[in-house]
A and B are shown apart, each in its own frame.
Chain A
Amino acid sequence: MNEKGENKGLDHDEPLLFDIGDLDKSGVDIQNPKNKKNLLGESFENRNIGLPGLSEPESIRHYVRLSRKNYSIDAGLYPLGSCTMKHNPRLNEKLARLDGFAKVHPLQPSSTCQGALELIYEISYWLKELTGMEAVTMVPKAGAQGELCGMLAIKQALLSKKQSHKNKVLVPDSAHGTNPATAAFLGFEVITIKSREDGTLDFEDFKKKLDENFAAAMITNPNTCGLFENEIIEISKLIHDAGGYLYCDGANFNALVGKVKPGDLGIDAMHINLHKTFSTPHGGGGPGSGPVVFSELLSDFCPTPAIEKNNETFILHENINEKILSMSFGRLSAFHGQMGMFVRALSYMMSHGADGLRQVSEDAVLNANYIKSSLEDVLTSAYEGYCMHEVLFNDDFLEGTGVETIDFAKALIDEGYHPMTIYFPLVVHGALLVEPTETESKLSIDQFISTIRNLAKKVQEDQDFFKKAPKYTPIRRLDETKAARNPVLRWKKEDVIAAE
């Protein structure tokens, strides 16, 4: 801890818990144990763990001071492309905390948790109806686990057809990193497909790479360049003719929800990020939830468990020896998925309804195109024409200025904004991917546009302004190389002694 502290007005210098906590202090009053016999056997030990404690007022102050060092969607526009940082309604938080959801155990008898099972059944219905797909599994715990789930179903389907030799997965070069990582994790060989000049998948390159070992393609639609893959139906036909499957990365479903049914596009599996399209809070990086919808070709291969409605009773099937799960690829995690997220997402869906959800995708796409049209003369659009719910710029507008994408992003921080996604997708040089979402007002977007226009002008005049940004943050640019070269990943008592 810095002894004199370095407070700056509302921004307080907050030491580590380990510098202010005390082993003999607690913020929870607990009745005293009787210290009688124990039945722990040979593993019993009264060891010194080294966990510092804080009283309740000190704890609250510690975390409140830390919280004030974070940007948040509640405080300002958060145009992080591909992440769909939209408003998180507080009704959803309230409902997820009802005892009848939050205090229900996953292994209660089904007769005592019919309401919980009904909720999962209900949200499954909404997702199938919105996507126009045959089946859904609610189990996956995040988008990346949804990808794993979809690809495991494809693997199982190939196995059931005795076609395990099919091991090639085609992935466009604009894909999220999770796509190739997932396919490789499952032992598939990953083949990269090029993007065309116009930002969409190279149909000819794709055709060339189909052979008898082709298993599946993982395509994001709309893609990470903010464009709709217009040849998706033709691609789907090629894939199915080759005996393969089309996996769709549904990270960008916010552009289509209520407006277009992915089921009409010929896909076989798609994960849906409830924390994006359906507004469950991002929480600083989780928890997420990534249900997967399936076409008829894959619907038998869903993971366990499955919920069935029989008259008015909801039955939870968990045992993979049961008939309904006889083709299942198995279990993806303990229990039944992210229930807390299902409650929030269903609350969001019901609040919007069919009409509101269509308005969501329309407004999201409208806001992105409005930004594109309003900035095209000062930034450089990566692609011509309309975009979907996010707009991609390249760094041509910075050419010759000495300012790089990262500097532009850091300068935006000093103007009170979280930067857009930068350097992704990889297919565009110095990419800046802007996703405003539908929950921004026109006033808010106009202010953002005006800020960017001013910065874009300044790029030509004052390189130093960008290189030294950010200036008004609790901490300035950090040395990431140093952190990786000499990793300090935890506090240690010895470090303190050494420093003294």
Chain B
Amino acid sequence: MRYLPLTDKDRIEMFETIGIKDIDDLFSNIQKKVDINPDLKLPNHMTEIEVEKNLSGLAGKNLHANNSAFFLGGGSYNHHIPSSVDHIIQRSEFLTSYTPYQPEISQGTLQYLFEFQTQVSLLTGMDVSNASMYDGSTSTAEAVSMAKRITKKNRVVLSSSIHPHYAQTIKTVSGISDEDLSYKGDILENLMDIESQIDEDTACVVVQNPDFFGSCHDLSYLSEFIHKKGALLIVVVTEIFSLGVMKSPGDMGADIVACEGQSLGNSLNFGGPYVGLLSTRKKYLRQLPGRIVGESEDVDGRKGFVLTLSAREQHIRREKATSNICTNSGLCSLAFTIHLTLLGELGFKKLSLLNHEFTCDFHDMVSRLPGFEVVSKSFYNEFTLKLPINADDFLDSMSKKGILAGIPIKRLLPENKNFDNYIIVACTEMNSKDDFDKYVNSAKEITS
């Protein structure tokens, strides 16, 4: 077996040192209770060639962003990842190290996380950020739990236009009862409607921007109203590139910002692994969950980095911890920070704008299609489209032509029958004029 270095000769020598005759002697106390060496209905070991053929076969059955005209978003976006990103994250010292418990031999990880925390804080316009969470949805749920701890209130108001998976995750993970949770999925929400739902018992209001259906909002006025009521504003961002052309959540008055960072450095991966970002105001720092890296000095007075504020964490506080989380999304946050370093301010803003312009071009083409209606009044790189036919039929026909043409809203909001004909379409810098032509021509053919 290619991954196991011990030889039979080694094993026998080791048995002698330990004073056993057979490996099962080490399992003898278990053997008194249950069978050991059970029969397994599994194949025996395979060569590298066999495994590669087997799994490549499964990969070959999938349509993907590189063999289709691709228009999917909804919290997961197909952006170009510079070749050097994947090269660096596969360096042994990043790939095969663990949590930097021993700072003297982990400064590489600690320094990039410190840089990551700074980049995230700059993007979100907030004071501090942690070293990442599992993904955007769990980061949002942690933000809600954090707001409940800070305000010592229970009611949570979710905007109707946040990602439905995020709403469901908040409900489960933050353990909010139906009475304490206000949410209904709706395409064209008027954010003014939220105000009527906020009362004195409201811990926080969660708003996604750009929202799940694509619309962009200035939240400055809403945040003032929320703060007057003694509640916190949590802003969710699922497309990080939008922050290159929009006001930052911090400038609009957010108290906590939770983002999905997948767009930078991380592939679609059928939904994971991704990287959650979590930022807040300095005054709420002690309630921020997860790993945090801070600066310090060594015994010779040299600057260095350590994991810090661990008094919040489960391995010290156990049942009194801020969260049960005990890892971050290490390697995904590394991919994020390398990609952003390569882009820099210049590249990030250029790419950010380019995504929007491509989407505007596509918007102009698709809105001229007979029977198609763009529902979103403003958008960044995705918008909601009303089709002349049923969304599932449309998307199925399009996929047969090699076009992944959008996400059917009713897949995520199945209770609401009004959404049968609505889809969300997204564009990125990866789309070409050919993709747009292919989409429009095929859509015409299918719906005529």
Which residues of A have CB within 8 Å of B90?
Answer: 93
Map CB proximity to A onto B325-343 as digits: 1 under 8 Å, 0 otherwise.
1111111101000101111
Contact B298 A106 (CB under 8 A): no
User: Chain B residue with minimal CB distance to A321?
Assistant: B414
Determine which of B175, B218, B251, B293 lies in contact with A187 in the assembled complex, contact meaning CB atoms within 8 Å. Answer: B175
B317 within 8 A of A: yes
A440 within 8 A of B: yes
A402 within 8 A of B: no
Which residues of A have CB within 8 Å of B298?
Answer: 475-479
Contact B327 A318 (CB under 8 A): no
Please tell me which stretch of A65-73, A238-246, A451-459 contacts chain B, meaning at least 4 of its Cβ atoms lie within 8 angstroms of it. Answer: A65-73
| Chain B: interface size category | 35 or more
B13 within 8 A of A: yes
Contact flag A74-B96 (CB < 8 Å), given A103-B64, A265-B34? yes
Which residues of A have CB within 8 Å of B377?
Answer: 41
B33 CB → nearest A CB, Å:
6
B144 within 8 A of A: no
Which residues of B have CB within 8 Å of A336?
Answer: 270-272
B192 within 8 A of A: no
Which residues of B have CB within 8 Å of A53?
Answer: 341-347
Contact flag A142-B134 (CB < 8 Å), given A365-B27, A490-B118? yes
Residues A248-288 near B (CB distance < 8 A): 258-261, 264-265, 281-288
B371 within 8 A of A: no
B76 within 8 A of A: yes
Contact B325 A144 (CB under 8 A): yes
Contact B138 A439 (CB under 8 A): no
Contact B135 A334 (CB under 8 A): yes
B57 CB → nearest A CB, Å:
8
Contact B114 A60 (CB under 8 A): no
Contact A341 B51 (CB under 8 A): no
A160 within 8 A of B: no
Q: How far is it, in angstroms, between the C-alpha of A94 and the C-alpha of B4 when the chains are bound?
A: 20
A257 CB → nearest B CB, Å:
10
Contact A34 B34 (CB under 8 A): no
Residues A296-346 near B (CB distance < 8 A): 303-304, 318-321, 329-341, 343, 346
Which residues of B have CB within 8 Å of A62?
Answer: 341
User: Chain A residue with minimal CB distance to B335?
Assistant: A283
Which residues of A have CB within 8 Å of B228?
Answer: none
Contact A354 B5 (CB under 8 A): no
Please tell me which stretch of B65-73, B153-161, B193-201, B434-442 contacts chain A, meaning at least 4 of its Cβ atoms lie within 8 angstroms of it. Answer: B65-73
A130 within 8 A of B: yes
Which residues of B have CB within 8 Å of A52?
Answer: 341, 344-345
Q: How far is it, in angstroms, between the C-alpha of A34 and the C-alpha of B317 when the chains are bound?
A: 54
Determine which of A107, A152, A181, A233 lies in contact with B314 in the assembled complex, contact meaning CB atoms within 8 Å. Answer: A181
Q: How far is it, in angstroms, between the C-alpha of A73 and the C-alpha of B96 when the chains are bound?
A: 5
B42 CB → nearest A CB, Å:
4
Contact A27 B6 (CB under 8 A): no
Contact A338 B17 (CB under 8 A): no
B446 within 8 A of A: no
A118 within 8 A of B: yes
User: Chain B residue with minimal CB distance to A50?
Assistant: B122
Which residues of B have CB within 8 Å of A59?
Answer: 84, 88, 338, 341-342
A119 within 8 A of B: yes
Which residues of B have CB within 8 Å of A490?
Answer: 114, 117-118, 121, 128-129
Contact flag A284-B100 (CB < 8 Å), given A70-B107, A484-B311, A489-B294? yes
Residues B29-53 near A (CB distance < 8 A): 29-30, 32-38, 40-46, 48, 50-52
Contact B97 A104 (CB under 8 A): no
Contact B268 A104 (CB under 8 A): yes
A97 within 8 A of B: yes
Which residues of A have CB within 8 Å of B284?
Answer: none
Please tell me which stretch of A207-215, A367-375, A393-401 contacts chain B, meaning at least 4 of its Cβ atoms lie within 8 angstroms of it. Answer: A367-375
Contact B107 A69 (CB under 8 A): yes
User: Chain A residue with minimal CB distance to B268?
Assistant: A105
Contact B123 A49 (CB under 8 A): yes
User: Chain A residue with minimal CB distance to B285?
Assistant: A487
Determine which of A67, A106, A333 lies in contact with B76 in the assembled complex, contact meaning CB atoms within 8 Å. Answer: A106
Determine which of A287, A413, A441, A484 lies in contact with B309 in the assembled complex, contact meaning CB atoms within 8 Å. Answer: A484
- Looking at A46, A63, A318, A474, the one whose CB has the most chain B CB atoms below 10 A away is A63
Q: How far is it, in angstroms, between the C-alpha of A295 and the C-alpha of B292 when the chains are bound?
A: 37
Contact flag A66-B97 (CB < 8 Å), given A28-B347, A483-B295? no
A386 within 8 A of B: yes
Residues B113-152 near A (CB distance < 8 A): 114-115, 117-119, 121-123, 128-129, 131-132, 134-138, 145
A429 within 8 A of B: no
Determine which of A22, A104, A105, A126 lies in contact with B42 in the assembled complex, contact meaning CB atoms within 8 Å. Answer: A126
Residues A29-88 near B (CB distance < 8 A): 30-54, 56, 59-60, 62-64, 66-75, 78, 80, 83, 85, 87-88
A280 CB → nearest B CB, Å:
9
> When A and B form their complex, what is the total count of cross-chain residue pairs whose Cβ atoms lie within 8 Å?
697
Q: How far is it, in angstroms, between the C-alpha of A480 and the C-alpha of B299 when the chains are bound?
A: 11
A95 within 8 A of B: yes
A274 CB → nearest B CB, Å:
11
Contact A40 B29 (CB under 8 A): no
- Looking at B38, B118, B269, the one whose CB has the most chain A CB atoms below 10 A away is B269
Map CB proximity to B onto A344-358 as digits: 1 under 8 Å, 0 otherwise.
001101111111111
Contact A71 B102 (CB under 8 A): yes
- Looking at B11, B92, B327, B377, the one whose CB has the most chain A CB atoms below 10 A away is B327
Which residues of A have CB within 8 Å of B33?
Answer: 230, 232-233, 265
Contact A99 B26 (CB under 8 A): no
Residues A422-444 near B (CB distance < 8 A): 424, 438-442, 444
A410 within 8 A of B: yes
Q: How far is it, in angstroms, between the C-alpha of A479 and the C-alpha of B246 when the chains are bound?
A: 40
Contact B63 A113 (CB under 8 A): yes
Q: How far is it, in angstroms, between the C-alpha of A152 and the C-alpha of B252 when the chains are bound?
A: 36
Contact B347 A27 (CB under 8 A): yes
- Looking at B1, B11, B273, B346, the one whose CB has the most chain A CB atoms below 10 A away is B273
B176 CB → nearest A CB, Å:
11
Which residues of A have CB within 8 Å of B326?
Answer: 142-144, 176-178
Contact B115 A16 (CB under 8 A): yes
Contact A470 B247 (CB under 8 A): no
Q: How far is it, in angstroms, between the C-alpha of A470 and the C-alpha of B325 when the chains are bound?
A: 30
Contact B399 A334 (CB under 8 A): no
Contact flag A351-B349 (CB < 8 Å), given A16-B114, A70-B94, A177-B317? no
A46 CB → nearest B CB, Å:
7
A367 CB → nearest B CB, Å:
8
Which residues of B have CB within 8 Å of A460?
Answer: none
Q: How far is it, in angstroms, between the C-alpha of A66 and the C-alpha of B294 when the chains are bound?
A: 16
Q: How far is it, in angstroms, between the C-alpha of A357 and the C-alpha of B180 when the chains are bound?
A: 48
Contact B172 A259 (CB under 8 A): no
Contact B246 A51 (CB under 8 A): no
Contact A23 B346 (CB under 8 A): yes
A7 within 8 A of B: no
Contact B37 A33 (CB under 8 A): no
B104 within 8 A of A: yes
Contact B62 A113 (CB under 8 A): yes
Residues A350-391 near B (CB distance < 8 A): 350-360, 362-363, 365-367, 369-370, 372-374, 386
Which residues of A have CB within 8 Å of B34?
Answer: 233, 260-261, 264-265
Which residues of B have CB within 8 Å of A304?
Answer: 168
Determine which of B165, B345, B407 lies in contact with A49 in the assembled complex, contact meaning CB atoms within 8 Å. Answer: B345
Contact flag A129-B42 (CB < 8 Å), given A33-B353, A336-B272? yes
Other A-B pairs, 17, CB within 8 Å; known A338-B273, A350-B51, A490-B114: A32-B350, A33-B350, A49-B122, A64-B91, A70-B107, A119-B58, A129-B41, A180-B319, A336-B270, A347-B51, A352-B3, A352-B45, A356-B4, A363-B11, A409-B102, A419-B102, A478-B305
9 A-B contact pairs sorted by A residue (CB < 8 Å):
A37-B360, A95-B59, A102-B64, A115-B60, A177-B316, A337-B272, A362-B23, A474-B107, A491-B115
Pick the 8 closest A-B CB pairs, nearest first.
Answer: A53-B344, A100-B59, A335-B271, A41-B378, A115-B61, A283-B331, A106-B271, A287-B273
